[in-house]
Amino acid sequence: MKRILTFAAAVLLLMSTLILPAFAAPRFLDVETSYWGNSYIEFAATQGIINGYPSGDGRYYFLPESSVTREEAITMLYRALKSSGDLTSTEDFTSTYQKQLDQHRISGWARSYVAYGLESGILEESELPGFVGEDGNG
């Protein structure tokens, strides 16, 4: 997990060095254009690294003050690698790690990302027990 956090920090540093275009309106309902992190959030959304949370009317929330779950972190890492062309494989390893994913109650939407992390060595199986909290959330 330390490797994920280290990589995520590196991605954020990289994003902070890029000049980003100004957008006329915020992409997310809860992120004003004046919000300090708006340009980073917009960059990550434009690159397909983040999607946000659906509002029910076709628009999305970002929830900028919420903690990132481990499932979300590995998803963003996968998408950042994909966006930069640095994925080692585009194969879906979900079936290879089905037992571990089931055992540790990995959410359906996150399974292919977690499986990629396991296959590529970003995650170790020993890190999975704490991947999903007692409430069933990652």
Beta-bridged to residue 61, according to DSSP, are 53
C-alpha dihedral (8, 86, 101, 124), degrees to nearest 10: -70
* CB contact set of 34 (below 8 Å; sequence gap of 6+): none
Q: What is the pLDDT of residue 70?
A: 94
Neighbours of 128 (CB within 10 A): 21
Q: Which helix (H) or strand (E) holds 12?
A: helix 2-16
- Separation of first and last alpha carbons in the chain: 13
Q: What is the pLDDT of residue 2?
A: 60
Three-state DSSP class for 100? helix
Q: What is the pLDDT of residue 62?
A: 95
Which one, of 11, 45, 50, 54, lies nearest residue 26 by Cα?
45
138 residues of the chain, pLDDT tens digit each: 666 655 554 554 445 444 444 434 458 999 998 999 999 999 999 999 999 999 999 899 999 989 999 999 999 999 999 999 999 999 999 999 999 999 999 999 999 999 999 999 999 999 998 887 555 565
Beta-bridged to residue 28, according to DSSP, are 60
Instruction: Tell me, rounded to whole angstroms, the distance of Cα 138 from its chain centroid.
Output: 12
Q: What is the pLDDT of residue 74?
A: 96
Q: Which helix (H) or strand (E) holds 54?
A: strand 53-54
Q: What is the pTM of this model?
A: 0.76
- Give me Rg for the CA atoms of the chain: 16
